[in-house]
Amino acid sequence: MKQNQNKNQKDSKKSDTNAPRPLLPSVDTSLEFIKESLGGSSDLVVRRITINKSPCAVLYIDGLVDKNTVQDFIMEALMLEMPSRRASVNHLYQIIKDASLPIGELSEVENYEDLFKRLLSGETIFLLDKEKKALSASTKGWRDRGVQETTSESVIRGPKEAFTETLRTNTALLRRKIKDPTLRVDAKSIGKLTHTDVAVVYLEGTAQDSVVKEVHKRLDQIDIDGILESGYIEEYIQDAQYSPFPTVYYSEKPDAIAAGILEGRVAIITDGTPDVLLAPALFVNFFQSSEDYYQRADIGTLIRILRLICFNIALFMPSLYIAFTTFHQEMIPSPLLISLAAQREGVPFPAFVEAMIMELTFEILREAGVRLPKPVGSAVSIVGALVLGQSAVQAGLVSPAMVIVVALTAISSFVVPA
């Protein structure tokens, strides 16, 4: 009993230390604690004012807020309009909250943990002396990239707009596509240090409740310091982690995500990345493109069949070539077999080693072309492929047929949209 009592006392002490620290009623003490916690950061802006002989302070982080909003709707309202109101000190906080600040999103803060979270998210904090509560006004106004054309999912016909790195811009793009009151946008914050905003978007009544609950459950179980991109979340919520095939679909196109939501799937939008996740994902979803729905049915069907054929070519063509030329020569017509044997006459490596050399060379060229700047990357990839391919054939390291097989395999792999 004594051991259990001591354990309960230790657990209560730990819970007390982990509990959020409530706000202090003194403005000077609160400001001193905030500055000390932020390490005297230079981007913290503190404006002290006095309203009806009561000390006040307005705090915000420079670069995360819209200064015009802070100036016009907070500072001007407090410094020019409040002195005209003859409010008593006891009711000053309530008057400022209810009738003085013309801000749409206004909330109360009661502890320093919530205060730092809101302050570092681009909100403006208002402190009033002798009050254990603070007001938080939504004044987010950092610069974003804006809605532009997608670079990874280009289409000939259909919308060209793409998601951005701003969460609210992305939710607005989906609201613009689906103007229905059953569209739900559930907000979450993931990451102990980054507090990344995440939105779960779905159509109530269309998406299964079990799927929505499972998505929320897996998101709530994520325990990590920071979420910098949606790929972090994808790895935590996906099924079959060791499978080479993905189980979560992602896209930069709002029309593709909106189509998935209309089909009953759940979208996961992460602040700071234009890639929006869509779950659950079927194997066939990765062969579909939003452009298929904007064309005739027969054309779209033929294009999807072509993608499946190209996928099988990329998956099996090198192995089939090795199997036919090494073990099953009788399946190759005699004229073609004679031509292949003549090409491989001076090659010192088996077909398997030859294929591995060419596949590895192509992957190196592809990775170099992606990482280099655009003006240089395309030139390096094209020149490198031509020079290395021609030189490898002339040097007798690989046969011309193997170059054709690997090149066709690589081109076929790029036909798949995802």
Task: Please state whether the predicted TM-score (pTM) of the whole model is above 0.85.
Answer: no
pLDDT along the chain (418 residues), means of 10: 57 56 90 90 90 88 88 86 59 83 88 91 91 90 78 82 90 92 92 92 93 94 92 90 86 92 94 92 87 88 92 92 89 86 82 88 81 72 73 80 88 86
CA distances from 159 to 177, 233, 255, 256, 290 (A): 11, 27, 7, 10, 9
Q: What angle do CA 100, 104, 108 make, to 5 degrees?
A: 70
Q: Is the dihedral of CA 176, 177, 179, 182 positive or negative?
A: negative
Q: Where are the beta strands (DSSP E) in 14-161?
A: 44-51, 54-61, 106-109, 123-128, 134-138
Q: Determine whether 117 is exposed, middle or buried from the number of CB atoms within 10 Å of its CB (0-12, 13-18, 19+).
A: middle
Q: What is the pLDDT of residue 140?
A: 87
Q: What is the pLDDT of residue 362?
A: 83
> d(Cα 22, Cα 238) in Å, to the nearest integer?
38
Per DSSP, the three-state class of 7 is: helix
For the chain, the distance separating the N- and C-terminal CA atoms, rounded to the nearest angstrom, is 61
Cα atoms found within 13 Å of the Cα of residue 177, Cβ hemisphere only? 22
Q: Where are the beta strands (DSSP E) in 178-228?
A: 183-190, 196-203
Residue 246 CA, chain-centre distance (Å), reads 16
> d(Cα 129, Cα 58) in Å, to the nearest integer?
12
**Helices 27-37 & 112-119 angle (0-180, nearest 10):** 60
> d(Cα 336, Cα 320) in Å, to the nearest integer?
15
Q: What is the pLDDT of residue 44?
A: 92
Q: What is the pLDDT of residue 386?
A: 73
Residue 372 CA, chain-centre distance (Å), reads 23
Per DSSP, the three-state class of 186 is: strand
**Strand pairing of 196-203 and 54-61?**
unpaired
Q: Where are the beta strands (DSSP E) in 213-329?
A: 249-251, 266-270, 276-279
> d(Cα 137, Cα 289) in Å, to the nearest integer?
42
| Domain layout of the chain by residue ranges | 17-138, 167-288, 296-413
